[in-house]
Amino acid sequence: MSTITTPGGFAGRPASPWFARLAQFGATGWIGIAVIAFWALAAIVGPALLSRTGAAGGGAVFAPISADHWLGTDYLGRDMLARVIEGARYTVGVAFVATLLASGIGTLLALLAAATGRWIDAALSRGLDTLTAIPSKMFALLMVAGFGSSVPMLIATAAVIYVPGAYRMARALAVNINALDYVTVARTRGERTGYVMLREILPNIAGPMLADLGLRFVYVVLLLASLSFLGLGVQPPAADWGSLVRENIGALADAGSSVIVPSLAIASLTIAVNLVIDNLPGHSARERGVR
Amino acid sequence: MGSHVTVDKLTVSAGGATLVDALSFTIRPGEVLALIGESGSGKTTTALALMGYARRGCRISGGSVRIGDIDVLGLGARQLRALRGSTVTYIAQSAAASFDPSRTILDQVVEPACLHGTMRRAEAELKAIALFRELALPEPESIGQRYPHQVSGGQLQRLMAAMALITDPEVVILDEPTTALDVTTQVEVLRAFRRVVRERQVTAVYVSHDLAVVAQMADHILVLRDGRMREVGATERLLAAPQNEYTKSLLAAACPAPRASVAGSGDAEVLLRVQGLSAGYGPRGRDGRPAVMVLQDIDLELRRGQAIGVIGESGSGKTTLARAVAGLLAPSAGTLAFHGRPLQPALAQRTREDLRRIQIVFQSADTSLNPSHTIERILARPLQFYKRLHGDALRRRIAELLDLVKLPRTLADRLPGGLSGGQKQRVNLARALAAEPDLILCDEVTSALDTVVGAAVLDLIAELRRELGVSYLFISHDLHTVRSVCDEIVVMRHGRKLAQVARADYQRGPHHPYYEQLARAVPELRRGWLDEQDRARPALAA
């Protein structure tokens, strides 16, 4: 139906360049991009622009927003603005890398399972089911207890926890695509498994998998925040946004800015990621037959 | 007795596009009007507008529809609900998709009557059983207790007709009710429909793209194209003396002329030899036989340049035969020989050269082109893969292929979603031709296409055969199609080859009874064909 409801004819238009594709982004997509860009910049250059570091304490504890402390102070009298901007490095960096790893590995394994079938599929599926059966917080606790808490460790833990989910999603999509005629044609042509996986199947599950990536990013941020809240995540004095919430939980009773600001930061980032992914041009463009 | 239907300047639009453009017609009480046209011509949209309904995104933007004394387009939502299912009823193309699989059939058939309060449930059930009997359904007393998956497609279609007729409607809309059925089933369903429509004197609108079917059902035919009326007239007149060019092309496509064969293919070398082929699905037992046998003991010889047609009902194993030849399904017994050399049973064991020489073209152009690859990329892959072409040579060859299948070169940058069904099927053929194969397996390549578009694709297939000398194994359930392009016809049923008929003997009998039955089941493009069949039937049964 979309071809009929679209005003004007797109049929005659040749393939459009990449900026034309970006122009299809809705307003909400641009808002999402702006928020992500803001936090990415904050993570990269933010600390250098600050006049004081988050380590400098000694002021009033849980001070409200003021000209001196734009976002108030925390439970040790440290500047909240500096703390949040330094925390962006951990949250954005660790969560982003972990999500990419989880979705990437999950998708690749799923493509392998769908394209080869039988034994590899069964082995992978049962193996990853076993991983799903372990509660994620327990698993993180085990990993931290065994290997100590460090940034690479956290990335690995979060990635391993979210691989099975991404795998299940991608496999369900890939198995459907695998049954379609164009994949059969590729097979009768004599194509190798790698080509079938990456060229025939992957482009057609990329859209839903990106949506899944956005959702998973949210989960990973929340997992890291909750690990930090339990004291298993990033270790003090460094702090990600989750740790900031935990540290300043004492200010909750007074609705202090030191606990609200990091919570808002987590919310803004997760919403922004999903806004961008919802606006990615994918299926609708394909149905019109234009790139 | 049905009502008078008057449609005046009906216009349906979607966004900026006009789907139905100022259409006017009338149907006298008790008559059947056929709306005919290709997909996208607005025939279903028109039929739905008779119930005051427009699909999502569409809007009835002008004109009037009157059924008897009722001005349908002037009714409010509540009055429309009262109208639909009681005064006007609808029989959809796919009964399987229209029944709720979790409720019994009787429950759903009596629903319109109960919903509109025209009769009590017990009465409605009695009436439903009477209708089942009238529609020649088996076990009319108990068939209603079954669930939709427990009856066949043709029976389900008739059960849907019972649902539509239970409220004694004045107008019935039949939207391609037999398109999804096999030829042999189609005749049964048509027969049942025609009888109930005639006996009840109900006014009916029959939507179809098949002129031969319509000729049996309709009193008048209205030809639609791009939402405009091309021609309207009594069935005999329209079939005998069409005035509009488009009607003429429809008529020409409906009775396909045999395409010229390649002379001398009879004594050419044997290209493909199939001996004692058996195949099936499911786990293999101790004797090496699969759990479900689909093909049994098939022998076939295909000479270079020859086209062999394989026909049979769905489930007869024709597609499985193509899959076995293509190497997608390893046979459980028998051998395949290609060019006099044995052909390995499984895909992985075949050489790239063997794979190149046999190409397969599937029925559904929608699922056989990767929606995220451009046409150029789709055609480039076999050229790179088999011929290692690149750069200018590759681009030149792609342009040649597009010329060969008569597509404009500008299409190369597009994605499959931007092509029409016929264009997609041509790309599909071009991809197979890119490999320069000796044999192309065509699996129902025209079944999903409109008559006119399908005829053009058949012309192309015949022409390619003359020019390039490729051989075809042409699988179809449509005897007309197979007759028009093939030198020989193989008839299959229940996984066995029943008969093989050469082109010269198509008209000469006697043939295998099943072939005769299939041949008789294809509706002919003249009025009264179904009546003749009915008269011939008692003799056949005896």
pLDDT digits (tens, 9 = 90+) for B28-38: 888 899 998 87
Q: Give the Cα separation of B377 and A107 in Å (integer).
A: 24
Contact B196, B111 (CB under 8 A): no
- Nearest CB partner across the interface for A291, out of B55, B368, B374: B374
- Nearest CB partner across the interface for B16, out of A8, A288, A291: A8
Alpha helices in A57-150 (DSSP H): 80-116, 118-133, 136-147
- Nearest CB partner across the interface for B15, out of A7, A11, A185: A7
Tokens encoding B109 = 């058939």
Helix (H) or strand (E) run with residue B301 in it? strand B290-303
The reply to whether residue B58 touches residue A204, judged by beta carbons under 8 angstroms, is no
pLDDT given at position A291: 40
pLDDT given at position A258: 76
Contact A272, A31 (CB under 8 A): yes
Chain A residue numbers with beta carbons less than 8 Å from the beta carbon of B360 are 184-185, 188
* DSSP annotation of B61: E
pLDDT given at position A3: 37
pLDDT given at position A9: 34
Does residue B219 carry a pLDDT above 70? Answer: yes
Q: Give the Cα separation of A16 and A41 in Å (integer).
A: 30
Does residue A8 carry a pLDDT above 60? Answer: no
Tell me the pLDDT band of A92, cut-offs 50, 70 and 90.
confident
pLDDT given at position B190: 86
Q: Nearest to residue B21, comparing CAs of B58, B62, B56, B51?
A: B62
For A203, which residue in chain B has the nearest alpha carbon? B372
Helices B183-200 and B513-521, axial angle in degrees (round to 10): 50
- Nearest CB partner across the interface for A291, out of B326, B327, B415: B415
For residue B27, is it left (φ>0), alpha (ψ between -120 and 50) or beta?
Answer: beta
Does residue B447 carry a pLDDT above 80? Answer: no
Q: Nearest to residue B473, comparing CAs of B364, B338, B292?
A: B338
User: Does B154 touch chain A if contact means CB atoms closer than 8 Å?
Assistant: no
The reply to whether residue A182 touches residue B367, judged by beta carbons under 8 angstroms, is yes
Single pTM value for the model: 0.75
Contact B492, B310 (CB under 8 A): yes
| Higher per-residue pLDDT: B542 or B232 | B232
Q: Which residues pair with B481 in a beta bridge?
A: none
Does residue B493 carry a pLDDT above 70? Answer: yes
Q: Give the Cα separation of B120 and B115 in Å (integer).
A: 10
pLDDT digits (tens, 9 = 90+) for A132-171: 888 888 888 888 888 888 888 889 999 999 999 999 999 9
| Mean local confidence (pLDDT), B499-520 | 77
Cis omega (within 30 of 0) for bond into B510? yes
pLDDT given at position A104: 94
CA distance between the termini of chain B: 36
Q: Give the Cα separation of B321 and B277 in Å (integer).
A: 9
User: Does B380 touch chain A if contact means CB atoms closer than 8 Å?
Assistant: no
* DSSP annotation of B409: G
pLDDT given at position A11: 37
pLDDT given at position B208: 87
Report the percentage of chain A scoring pLDDT > 70: 80
CA Rg, chain A, in Å?
23
Chain A residue numbers with beta carbons less than 8 Å from the beta carbon of B17 are 4, 7
How distant is the alpha carbon of residue B476 from its chain centre? 10
For A2, which residue in chain B has the nearest alpha carbon? B57
pLDDT given at position B495: 85
Chain B residue numbers with beta carbons less than 8 Å from the beta carbon of A17 are none
Tell me the pLDDT band of A283, cut-offs 50, 70 and 90.
very low
The reply to whether residue B355 touches residue A286, judged by beta carbons under 8 angstroms, is no
Tokens encoding A261 = 């600001």
pLDDT given at position A113: 92
Q: Give the Cα separation of B424 and B435 in Å (integer).
A: 18
pLDDT digits (tens, 9 = 90+) for A238-249: 778 877 877 777
Max Cα distance, chain B (Å):
76
Tell me the pLDDT band of A69, cut-offs 50, 70 and 90.
low
Tokens encoding A160 = 């391993």
A70, A103, A169, B294 from A210: Cα distances, Å? 36, 9, 11, 41
Ranking A15-19, A258-262, B453-457 by mean pLDDT, the lowest is A15-19
User: Does B419 touch chain A if contact means CB atoms closer than 8 Å?
Assistant: yes
User: Does B291 touch chain A if contact means CB atoms closer than 8 Å?
Assistant: no
pLDDT digits (tens, 9 = 90+) for B273-322: 998 888 888 787 777 788 788 888 889 888 888 889 998 877 788 888 98
Q: Taking the alpha carbons of B98, B102, B105, B108 in that order, is the dihedral positive or negative?
A: negative
pLDDT digits (tens, 9 = 90+) for A180-212: 889 999 988 888 888 988 888 998 888 888 888
Tell me the pLDDT band of B431, cut-offs 50, 70 and 90.
very high
Give the number of A-B residue pairs with CB atoms closer than 8 Å.
Answer: 94
Does residue B194 carry a pLDDT above 50? Answer: yes
CB proximity list for A92: less than 8 A, separation 6 or greater: A39, A40, A43, A269
* DSSP annotation of A198: I
CB proximity list for B262: less than 8 A, separation 6 or greater: B305, B306, B465, B466, B469
Does residue B248 carry a pLDDT above 70? Answer: yes
pLDDT given at position B264: 53
- Nearest CB partner across the interface for B352, out of A1, A190, A204: A190
User: Does B337 touch chain A if contact means CB atoms closer than 8 Å?
Assistant: no
pLDDT digits (tens, 9 = 90+) for B340-365: 888 888 888 888 888 999 999 988 77
SS3 assignment, position B231: strand
Q: Which residues of A touch B (CB under 8 A)?
A: 1, 4-8, 10-11, 14-15, 180-182, 184-191, 199-200, 203-204, 206, 286-291
The reply to whether residue B415 touches residue A290, judged by beta carbons under 8 angstroms, is yes
User: Does B327 touch chain A if contact means CB atoms closer than 8 Å?
Assistant: yes
Q: Give the Cα separation of B304 and B325 in Å (integer).
A: 16
Does residue B323 carry a pLDDT above 80? Answer: yes
Tell me the pLDDT band of A285, cut-offs 50, 70 and 90.
very low
Sheet order of strands, B307-311 included: B358-361, B439-443, B471-476, B307-311, B488-493, B496-502
Report the percentage of chain A scoring pLDDT > 90: 15
The reply to whether residue A189 touches residue B355, judged by beta carbons under 8 angstroms, is yes
| Mean local confidence (pLDDT), A83-104 | 86
Chain B residue numbers with beta carbons less than 8 Å from the beta carbon of A206 are 372
User: Does B433 touch chain A if contact means CB atoms closer than 8 Å?
Assistant: no
For A5, which residue in chain B has the nearest alpha carbon? B15
Average pLDDT, chain B: 85
Q: Give the Cα separation of B500 and B65 in Å (integer).
A: 53
Beta strands in B430-493 (DSSP E): 439-443, 471-476, 488-493
- Nearest CB partner across the interface for B56, out of A1, A188, A206: A1
Does residue B134 carry a pLDDT above 50? Answer: yes
pLDDT given at position B509: 67
Chain B residue numbers with beta carbons less than 8 Å from the beta carbon of A15 are 374, 413-414
pLDDT digits (tens, 9 = 90+) for B393-403: 999 999 999 98
The reply to whether residue B15 touches residue A187, judged by beta carbons under 8 angstroms, is no
Tokens encoding A270 = 């997760």
pLDDT given at position A282: 58
- Nearest CB partner across the interface for A4, out of B15, B360, B382: B15
Alpha helices in B327-478 (DSSP H): 352-357, 365-368, 375-382, 391-404, 421-434, 451-468
Q: Give the Cα separation of A278 and B7 in Å (integer).
A: 44
Q: Give the Cα separation of B320 and B311 in Å (integer).
A: 12
- Nearest CB partner across the interface for B14, out of A4, A203, A204: A4
| Mean local confidence (pLDDT), B423-445 | 89
Chain B residue numbers with beta carbons less than 8 Å from the beta carbon of A182 are 367-370
Chain B residue numbers with beta carbons less than 8 Å from the beta carbon of A181 are 362, 364, 367-368
- Nearest CB partner across the interface for B370, out of A6, A182, A187: A182
Chain B residue numbers with beta carbons less than 8 Å from the beta carbon of A188 are 326-328, 347, 355, 358-360
Q: Nearest to residue A91, comparing CAs of A79, A83, A103?
A: A83
Tell me the pLDDT band of A290, cut-offs 50, 70 and 90.
very low
The reply to whether residue B374 touches residue A287, judged by beta carbons under 8 angstroms, is no
Helix and strand element counts for chain B (H, E): 21, 20
Average pLDDT, chain A: 78
Q: How far is A184 from chain B (nearest CA, A)?
A: 8
Interface test with A, best of B358, B370, B387 (most A CBs within 10 A): B370
* DSSP annotation of B449: S
| Mean local confidence (pLDDT), B247-261 | 75
Q: How far is B370 from chain A (nearest CA, A)?
A: 6
Q: Give the Cα separation of B192 and B185 in Å (integer).
A: 11
Q: ipTM greater than 0.85, yes or no?
A: no
pLDDT given at position B399: 92
Chain B segment 43-62 residues within 8 A of A by beta carbon are 55-58
